[in-house]
Structure 1
């Protein structure tokens, strides 16, 4: 009985540690958060996809339907295109904000094979304040680690430890009842 419990616990530990590692196999590096003026054109490069992987790139935000992604114009509030990553796993997209751009826009790249995701925020500023791409210091939000899987790993480890303690207590109680 104890060998079965020990084998089950070992499998549970392997599952908890292996699944997040497999999910993080691709580490996508998004372009830095940027500020751009209304109607301004700039390039954004996402790195870390597998070579030749098809990547869906979407721009969302106010008036995104009149924005341009690599010369593609559609009539929806979310602009989406699909591009193949180059041999190094990089995907570069040219973005032109709409002439009436305001607020924040989110540029998201999603690997269609790997499922890996990278995001960048573009803040629309007045044309006089734009001055090109920045590092997000002019209104972009800082990265707070919300995509970090550490909390999930700790929670899973805690639940695993709690389950192991429960199994051990159950085993001790059964043995005591059997001896009485």
Structure 2
């Protein structure tokens, strides 16, 4: 790190991601992150009090990238709820598949970290479910969907499509039938929601 650059939490998280990619979660240390930044490990600890806090922050950052992209679809009032729901589910599947395929080492690392960061993952799932709830509620309000409780329906949609976004199923995402299975599942769910 150049002496004129300010050490920020974001720079530390970027460096941590690279260190995790290189060394994996079992071997990556705060000292490795500090070395990559050209600072002392104490400088890193001033931003993140513990190694666990650093790992949680990098996991949350990774999960937030997906949430933020999907939020734009969920909030796009220019499209009807059915289109938004289909696009939202497709974007989630595409994002997860891309992360697993483009950088398998980092994806495997994040899968390990996500297993350690139960709170961050639960918060992420709550955020995604809230986005789905908004879409379903908009569909109900417009008369396109039928649901006594949009939150319950949204959670059911999320759980029913788990094969296409839960990292446990990453090995299935590039099978020849994955896209057809995804389309069949989404079409079935949409038929069930239609008023």
TM value normalised by structure 2: 0.23
Structure having the higher helix fraction is 2
More strand by share: 1
| Bigger CA radius of gyration | 1
Between the two structures, name the one with larger relative contact order (CA 8 Å, sep ≥ 6).
1
